[in-house]
Structure 1
Amino acid sequence: MLDFATGRDDAANEVRLRVRELVESWKSAGRFEPRPDNWMRGFDPEFSAALAEQGLIGLTWPVEYGGAGRRNVDRLAATEELLRAGAPVAAHWMADRQIGPAVLRHGSEELRRELLPDMLAAKSVYCLGMSEPEAGSDLAAVRTTGREAPDGTFVIRGRKVWTTNAHRASHIYVLARTDPAERKHDGLSEFIIDMTSPGISVSPIPDLAGQHHFNEVVFDDVVVPAHRIVGRRGNGWKQVVEQLSFERGGPERVLSSYPLLDQILADNKTADESFDEEIGRIVARLAVLRRLANRVARRMDEGAAPVQEAATLKLLGNGFEQDLVDLARRVSAGSVGPDTLVGQALMAMPGFTIRGGAADVMLSLIARQEVVA
């Protein structure tokens, strides 16, 4: 296993060791099996609760709301350890990575007090209602509507697809059109909705392996209290672009398949010298991508929303993961059954370049960077 220590950063390394000890205790007890893409597919509320008990969820959130008040660089150390161990973290990942920070940044005080405690305790599970049928990666092509009722509530109507773990979630984040606008990026608002609300139905979308983590979610006149809007009405596009930097700029865009690299490096039986150069290149690329992830985290610690840096990390990270899976397949010399790490990664790989935005979308975001002389 590669040394992931964070240089001379004692604070980050302290968090890293705490996570590593917890992970190793669970692995040695046989309580989970490392596997690729487990941040999305590995759903274990007990493991998430164990992290919460040690204060390892909400590391960057303010102490006044129950968080640890630490840096994004510290959280990066924690998430790297979880990802490279292939730990089952899907039960809390969306709340910790994305929804909690969005509520802290834009939500009302009422919304913070209502939702954050259960996120920190891993008692609530969040899914993301962004993608829609026939919209592809065009997130602004939202047809789901949020109509304001006379009593001040909002009535949500529409459909979302590829909604990971919606069948297990207690809450769903929804991007909906609340106001007509000439530009499709205007008039959008963000909501957080209880999945037990009348009018919500969830249908499974099995993947190529027959596994169920994707879903279609239908909203049939779902009533949502006005205080469940995140931020300002009609400001949803600006907020969601910022929020996606939390999603795209994390190490999960690089380390989803890390257990494969660990297997290649550790298994002497596959140490064919003909692969040495390729393995060296993969390890070098990983080092560069980890450095970029660290830059994204530091920019967030400065109060920025590093949209372009996050898009760059996702684009390059997707290519890295695909190449790693291909290398592992060739090194394994045919051992690619569905129960092997290689087989699991191959079945997950088609989604790498789509989730969080397709490559063309990332290139568009990167192209908008300001050139500094």
Structure 2
Amino acid sequence: MDFDDTPAEAEYRRQVRKFLNAHHDELVHGDGEYLNEPGVENIDDLRRTQALLYDAGYVGVTWPIAYGGRGGTAMQQAIVTQELALAAIPALANFVGLGMCGPTVLAHGTEDQKARYIRRLLRADDMWCQLFSEPGSGSDLAALRTTAVRQEDGTWRVDGQKVWNTRAQYSSYGILLARTDHTVAKHRGLTMFVVDMRAPGVTVRPLEQMNGDHEFTEVYLDGVVIPDIERLGAVNDGWRVALTTLMNERLAVGGGGNEVGVRLEALIQHARERLPGLPGDTQVLARQALGRVVVESLATRYTGYRRLTAIARGDLPGPEASAGKLSAVRTARAGADLGVRLLGPEAVYGRTSTGEWLWPTAQASVPGTAIAGGTDEVLRNILGERILGLPPEPRTDTQPVSAGREGRS
């Protein structure tokens, strides 16, 4: 694999870097170490940053030109991602829309839906969220009980509860998976919709996480009316549509070679500062732990580049993205744990030269990332069955899901 830019790629990189330097004061910057900060308290500034980047041609790089994308290559997108990281630009405001919702609309939406939604999604004019998990169906997504019942006028009435919905409090739209048939096996009775988050009957409540953030929410749907033109895919074919979302989500969360949590370079600098003050035997163990994190981070990064190359050739994200997500989260957890251990007793106060929040916050945040897009256990099952060809686990969940809805709690 050639890691050097071609002349065309080098020129493209120069253009991206020139734009970021010229517009430095107009863009939101973090300290470049924790990948998801600044937090949602700066959501309006983050949206303006995404709009500015989109107008310059650096959001939706590989998306179809007809719907507002740039029709570029996966390598150009990788260059943009790398340069944004070097410039300490945090995760884009509408990263759920870009990573999960948009690709699903592109793959399964009508021409009308693509024309109405995609360009505004790319520019963060409309924020998007994903309404999948429920209090009783997280890893077992197909067991969900939120119902969509077709009315005489052709619309759908939706009732139920969703949880762990990222940035739903700022979203204009969401993709919603609901049960439309209780008489068939659970995977076969689901349908996907686009839901207007401002519609009557939609209630959004932010959830406070153990790291103090409010990225996640719970969403209640009480008699929400969705027109049939907002259906994504065929009736009762929602599981196939949802797989598109899930595969793209796993690609987005580390599956494309991107890092999760604290940047590798920040951990290396942290180790440079802290290692000399450790006892000899402890220092040896810490160096070994750092070496493992570095090797696994680089392996995840470069393996992800191979997946991006395959996607650039027209392939859809497959189960391989599950391996990338597993690896990225495992490495992020090991890096955050090492960062805290290097602090020693100071970890109680969380004070480091890079800020008093970085390592304890990272350690508290990674468990949530391990759940997002499928738990580690679910991903291992996918890899075992679909990649290694191992016998599937015994299943007792192929029967229809009884009618019902999650009540308020």
TM-score (norm 2): 0.81
Gaps of 5+ in 2: 277-282, 351-355, 390-409
* Matching residue of 2:384: 367
* Matching residue of 1:182: 184
Equivalent residue letter for 2:262: Y
Moved more, 5-14 or 58-67: 5-14
- Aligned partner (choices 226, 249, 252) of residue 250 of structure 1: 252
- Aligned partner (choices 48, 66, 69) of residue 67 of structure 1: 69
**CA displacement at 1:22 relative to structure 2:** 5.7
Root-mean-square deviation (CA, aligned residues, Å) is: 2.7
Distance in structure 1 (CA, Å) of the matches to 2:360 and 2:261? 11
**Number of aligned pairs?**
367
Moved more, 276-285 or 100-109: 276-285
Distance in structure 1 (CA, Å) of the matches to 2:22 and 2:117? 30
**CA displacement at 1:73 relative to structure 2:** 3.9
**CA displacement at 1:370 relative to structure 2:** 4.9
* 3-state SS of 2:161 partner: strand
Q: Which digits, 9 at most, give the CA deviation of each residue in 1:107-135, with x for residues without a partner?
A: 00110111112112220101110100121
**CA displacement at 1:80 relative to structure 2:** 4.5
Distance in structure 1 (CA, Å) of the matches to 2:308 and 2:38? 21
Distance in structure 2 (CA, Å) of the matches to 1:234 and 1:10? 49
* Matching residue of 2:301: 290
Q: Is 1:318 aligned to 2:335, yes or no?
A: no
**CA displacement at 1:101 relative to structure 2:** 1.6
**CA displacement at 1:317 relative to structure 2:** 1.3
Gaps of 5+ in 1: none
Equivalent residue letter for 2:333: Q
**CA displacement at 1:40 relative to structure 2:** 9.3
Distance in structure 1 (CA, Å) of the matches to 2:358 and 2:35? 10
Residues 192 and 230 in structure 1, CA contact (< 8 A), matched pair in contact too: yes
Equivalent residue letter for 2:384: A
Distance in structure 2 (CA, Å) of the matches to 1:112 and 1:93? 18
* Matching residue of 1:266: 269
* 3-state SS of 2:93 partner: helix
Q: Is 1:328 aligned to 2:339, yes or no?
A: yes
Change (3 A) 1:51 1:132: same
TM-score (norm 1): 0.88
* % identity of equivalent residues: 30
Q: Which digits, 9 at most, give the CA deviation of each residue in 1:142-192, with x for residues without a partner?
A: 111111111111111111001111111111111111223421101211111
Distance in structure 2 (CA, Å) of the matches to 1:270 and 1:30? 32
- Aligned partner (choices 313, 319, 337) of residue 308 of structure 1: 319
Equivalent residue letter for 2:360: G
**CA displacement at 1:75 relative to structure 2:** 2.4
Equivalent residue letter for 1:365: I
Residues 105 and 113 in structure 2, CA contact (< 8 A), matched pair in contact too: yes
* Matching residue of 1:351: 368
Moved more, 317-326 or 362-371: 362-371
* 3-state SS of 1:33 partner: coil
**CA displacement at 1:369 relative to structure 2:** 2.5
Higher-Rg structure is 2
